[in-house]
């Protein structure tokens, strides 16, 4: 006798495969986005520090979910899709909040560079994936260094009150400028790697 197929059971089994520990951590990082932004705008003296702590927790889960996915053998297509999306969302949300609260050219310019680069590279990777050449624009060490510096800069800037210029806020602002320069550099590296394909398709 053939076993009976139950669509509901199959759906639950698929959800169990998708909702593993690394993917739950990634979803938790996405949930932290509105919490971080909401806390940042609270009219309390401790709000910036708490927002920075929440962002730090999100940054830690970014490293931890990838480590657990490899360690536990729980790497899934859903996780590979969601993890970079979560990273880009929380960075973009934090940068927008910082730009709004600081209203400074030196805050706005690197934010535009960082967010703009993510849009360009995401579109490039999607297009290269359609051609079966996504590996040529895979994340490299330069991209990881850029991301680390970016996270450190945002954590520092979130922790400082926008109306008070301190040595720590200056360090955060300089780190943000440096991360924007690395962002442009990494974008050029990715575009150069994809250029032969772009040129051949154009021809």
Strands (E), the chain: none
What confidence score (pLDDT) does residue 1 get?
47
Q: What's the pLDDT tens digit per position in 89-147?
A: 999 999 999 999 998 999 999 999 999 998 988 888 777 776 666 555 556 677 778 88
What confidence score (pLDDT) does residue 51 get?
96
Q: What is the 3-state secondary structure (H, E, C) of 55-93?
A: HHHHHHHHHHHHHHHHHCCCCCHHHHHHHHHHHHHHHHH
What element of type H or E holds 48?
A: helix 47-71
User: Low-confidence residues of the chain, pLDDT below 50?
Assistant: 1-3, 5, 8-11, 13, 202-203
What confidence score (pLDDT) does residue 194 get?
77
What confidence score (pLDDT) does residue 173 get?
94
- Closest alpha carbon to 69 in 18, 111, 124, 109: 18
What confidence score (pLDDT) does residue 134 get?
58
**CATH code assigned to 10-197:** 1.20.120.1760
Instruction: At 36, list the tokens.
Output: 């971080």
Domains of the chain, by residue range, sit at 10-197
**Exposed (0-12), middle (13-18) or buried (19+): which is 16, by Cβ within 10 Å?**
exposed
What confidence score (pLDDT) does residue 179 get?
93
What confidence score (pLDDT) does residue 41 get?
94
Q: How many CB atoms lie within 10 A of CB 135?
A: 9
């Amino acid at each position: 006798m053939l076993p009976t197929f139950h669509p509901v059971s199959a759906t639950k089994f698929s959800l169990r495969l998708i909702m593993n520990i690394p993917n739950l951590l990634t979803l938790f990082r996405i949930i932290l986005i509105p919490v971080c932004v909401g806390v940042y705008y609270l009219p309390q003296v401790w709000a910036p520090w708490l927002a920075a702590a929440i962002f730090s927790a999100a940054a830690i889960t970014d490293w931890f979910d990838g480590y657990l996915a490899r360690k536990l053998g729980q790497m899934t297509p859903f996780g590979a899709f969601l993890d970079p999306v979560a990273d880009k969302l929380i960075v973009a949300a934090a940068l927008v909040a910082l730009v709004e609260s600081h209203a400074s050219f030196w805050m706005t310019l690197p934010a535009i560079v960082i967010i703009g680069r993510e849009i360009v590279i995401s579109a490039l990777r999607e297009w290269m994936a359609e051609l079966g050449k996504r590996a040529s624009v895979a994340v490299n060490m330069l991209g990881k260094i850029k991301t680390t510096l970016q996270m450190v800069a945002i954590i520092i800037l979130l922790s400082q009150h926008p109306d008070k210029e301190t040595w720590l806020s200056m360090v955060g602002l300089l780190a943000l400028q440096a991360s924007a320069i690395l962002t442009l550099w990494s974008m050029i590296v990715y575009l150069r790697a994809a250029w032969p394909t772009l040129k051949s398709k154009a021809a």
